[in-house]
């Protein structure tokens, strides 16, 4: 009898819900009836180990944990062994409950950011919700299963993929892909899967002219960044590696404006980069050195830049790096000079 093998107290969060000694069945409910652990006799299916343990999820529309791959022993030879295993399973769930996904009665998929609301409204029409997620206002819509899809994430990928194709959005403007429950707790981040799907179907965004880098010293960025990459991150192109044959050219790039003493250097495909337009207005107020129109070096406080935004080139000559950034500066005598910003070392 099952009752002979029950401990004086069950693990916390669990209660004995039913016991039927005659039919050799017992069940336990855990976490306010979210989960059920049961033991039943099935001698026909397994005569040598007739007692079967079953773990069931009672709340939520999504599977909250991959219990199929938990690799917990399900069949046991005696009632005592089965009860002991069930008690251990309840204790394991207590220890790992925080790794189980939250209950989801409804699912919402992020479609993009609030500034993209006009085109999102044109495509999705109604049922849109704006909600702040990790400090950014995102537009959500209730997720639903589409015909032919086996999961909500698969349906969301289909929907977002079609949305991107309708507007031929560049990859860096595809900002949807967070699957959340009704409390906007993250269930799954499908952005990487979405990008992989778009590449597999040979997605062609609205073509833009890409100004590929070709010289060391150019300021660059990724023209098609992944979702987890900052599209505004700038890099200094410090080396180019050309190879014979079909091997694509590589480049060493150093991240700029990181605030780190030793910024990371990465090797990437040269064709993944584009020359970046740099905002020079941040230079105003800082000390700098120029090569004046007369060819002499002058130092002082930068008072103006022209133009404020441009494609910056850096050229190393001897013990200095000359840029194509034209600035005006005020020397210690109060005189104004114009020339190209130079870095001395």
Query: For position 84, what pLDDT does the model report?
Result: 96
Quote the pTM value: 0.48
pLDDT number for residue 150:
82
- For residues 344 and 289, is the Cβ–Cβ distance under 8 A? yes
d(CA 206, CA 165): 9
**Residues of the chain predicted below pLDDT 50:** none
Q: So what's the pLDDT on residue 248?
A: 84
- For the chain, the structural domain boundaries read 2-99, 107-200, 219-275, 279-344
Q: pLDDT tens, 137-190?
A: 999 999 988 877 888 899 999 999 999 988 888 888 899 999 998 889 888 999
Round to whole Å and give the CA distance between 180 and 160: 15
Residue 86's pLDDT is what? 96
């Amino acid at each position: 009898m099952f009752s002979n093998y029950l401990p004086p107290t069950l693990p916390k969060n669990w209660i004995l819900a039913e016991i039927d000694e005659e039919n050799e069945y017992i069940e336990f409910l855990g976490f306010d009836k979210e989960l059920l652990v049961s033991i039943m006799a099935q001698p026909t299916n397994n005569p040598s180990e007739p007692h079967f343990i079953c773990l069931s999820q009672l709340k939520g529309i999504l599977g909250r944990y991959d219990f199929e791959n938990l690799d917990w022993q399900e069949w046991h030879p005696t009632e005592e062994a089965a009860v002991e295993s069930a008690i251990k399973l309840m204790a394991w769930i207590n220890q790992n409950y925080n790794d189980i996904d939250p209950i989801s009665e409804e699912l919402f998929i992020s479609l993009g950011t609030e500034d993209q609301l006009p085109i999102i409204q044109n495509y999705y029409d109604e049922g849109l919700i704006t909600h702040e997620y990790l400090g950014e206002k995102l537009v959500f819509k209730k997720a639903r299963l589409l015909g032919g899809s086996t999961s909500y994430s698969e349906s969301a990928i289909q929907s977002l993929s079609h949305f991107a194709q309708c507007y031929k959005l560049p990859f860096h403007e595809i900002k949807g892909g967070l699957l959340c429950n009704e409390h906007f707790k993250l269930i799954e981040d499908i952005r990487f899967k979405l990008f992989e799907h778009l590449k597999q179907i040979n997605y062609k965004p609205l073509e833009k002219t890409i100004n590929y880098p070709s010289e060391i010293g150019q300021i660059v960025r990724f023209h098609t960044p992944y979702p987890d990459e900052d599209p505004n991150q700038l890099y200094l192109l410090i080396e180019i590696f050309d190879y014979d044959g079909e091997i694509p050219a590589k480049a060493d790039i150093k991240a700029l404006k990181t605030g780190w003493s030793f910024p990371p250097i990465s090797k990437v495909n040269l064709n993944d980069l584009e020359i970046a337009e740099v905002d020079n207005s941040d230079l105003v107020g800082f000390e700098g050195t120029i090569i004046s129109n007369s060819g002499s070096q002058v130092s002082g406080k930068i008072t103006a830049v022209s133009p404020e935004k441009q494609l910056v080139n850096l050229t190393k000559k001897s013990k200095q790096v000359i840029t194509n950034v034209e600035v005006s500066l005020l020397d210690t005598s109060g005189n104004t000079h114009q020339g190209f910003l130079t870095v001395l070392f």
